[in-house]
Amino acid sequence: MLTDAQLQATLETLIDDNSGQPYGAVWQVVSDENRVHVTLTLGYPTQTQQAVLEAKIKAVTADTREFVLDTECHVKSHATQGNIAGLKGVKNIIAVASGKGGVGKSTTTVNLALAMAKEGARVGILDADIYGPSQGMLLGFPEGTRPQVREDKFFVPPTAFGVQVMSMAFLTTKDTPVAWRGPMVTGALMQILTQTDWNDLDYLFIDMPPGTGDIQLTLAQKVPVAGSVIVTTPQDIALLDARRGIEMFNKVKIPVLGVVENMSTHICSNCGHHEAIFGDEGGASLAKEYNVNVLGKLPLSLAIREQSDAGRPIVVNAPESDTAGIYQSIARKLGATLASQQNEQIAMPTIGMSDD
């Protein structure tokens, strides 16, 4: 029978699967002859991993007493680029971006946000693709959904599956094109971001439009972003554009928390054969080049597409599926990576133009 100090020392060396590092001094152990009560305090949510973690602790300690594990999560506000003031009601803003369209960025954003909510966090989504908003459809909002207005100046974000959502789709119709020049688009982005009454969010995911244009620069200069996620496919042309996205975030001092490789392999629905039709290990080589993590690899899946089009993302429609499990793992790794960031203010660079 181990003492409390021995148990705690053993647990501190246990590897956190989400960060890849030892847990360290985040444990509190209180025991008697019959029971061991362990409290784990983390800076990111891991609600779905409770049973797995209990089994892992029992195996490593080999203690036969009754075992109780309490996991506490305290998500902190993390440093952002420059001295940009924080956004009311939001602890951390995470930009989900891609260098090009068609790589599944919006689908990744919605499932990642829902997975983070399932882990126990308070989550929101801002659809920053002003020209082509898609979060309304992906989350199954009826046509004509409009946000309520508080005090004649704040939008109250509609909710779906417990996630707060704001999108231009709620302010226009599906047949109304947003034929605006850059300044109007960036003005609209800032309005729906700052005039939405976000309610005590741990994480606000911003579904970025593809590219590195006006909206991306406005985000970098005016919005307090704690980190970013790059979504790509293994295809060479997608990786080329993803590099530009990473370089942009590096230049404006927004940490890249990791890469998500979408459409990694095709799995035949008849025979189960795996085939890397868009290339192999492209996301891993990109991550290695820029010294960031691959948060996860997702298959090219008919179920993801069908359920997204139906407004029932796979994380909520098929929560026990392998694909939903991958999204949960990505959410935990993202939370762990952000929690490990040094909480220091980062000076913003001056963005200029040259003929070089």
| Residues sharing a CB contact under 8 Å with residue 55, sequence separation 6 or more, in sequence order | none
Would the pTM of this model clear 0.85, i.e. be above it?
yes
- Phi first, then psi: give them for residue 257, nearest 5 degrees: -80, -15
What pLDDT score was predicted for residue 267? 65
Does any domain span residue 60? yes
Q: Do 15 and 125 reside in the same domain of the chain?
A: no
Classify each residue of 175-204 as buried b or exposed e, where b means 16 or more C-beta atoms within 10 Å of its C-beta.
eeeeeeeeeebbebbeebbeebbbeebbbb
Which domain range does residue 41 map to?
Answer: 4-73
Residue 286 CA, distance from chain mean position = 19
Q: Do 226 and 283 reside in the same domain of the chain?
A: yes
Q: Do 56 and 143 reside in the same domain of the chain?
A: no
Tokens of 88: 């009311």
Is the model more confident about 210 or about 115? 115
Q: Do 287 and 318 reside in the same domain of the chain?
A: yes
Q: Do 66 and 97 reside in the same domain of the chain?
A: no
Does any domain span residue 335? yes
Q: Do 61 and 157 reside in the same domain of the chain?
A: no
| Residues sharing a CB contact under 8 Å with residue 202, sequence separation 6 or more, in sequence order | 45, 75, 91, 92, 116, 121, 122, 123
Residue among 305, 259, 299, 302 nearest 276 (CA): 299
Does any domain span residue 84? no
Work out the average pLDDT over 286-313: 86
| Alpha-carbon span 75 to 68, nearest angstrom | 23
Q: Do 162 and 249 reside in the same domain of the chain?
A: yes
| Alpha-carbon span 232 to 262, nearest angstrom | 6
Can you count the helices (H) and strands (E) in the chain? 11, 15
pLDDT, tens digit, for every residue of 82-130? 778 889 999 999 999 987 777 888 999 999 999 999 999 999 999 988 8
DSSP state of 347: P
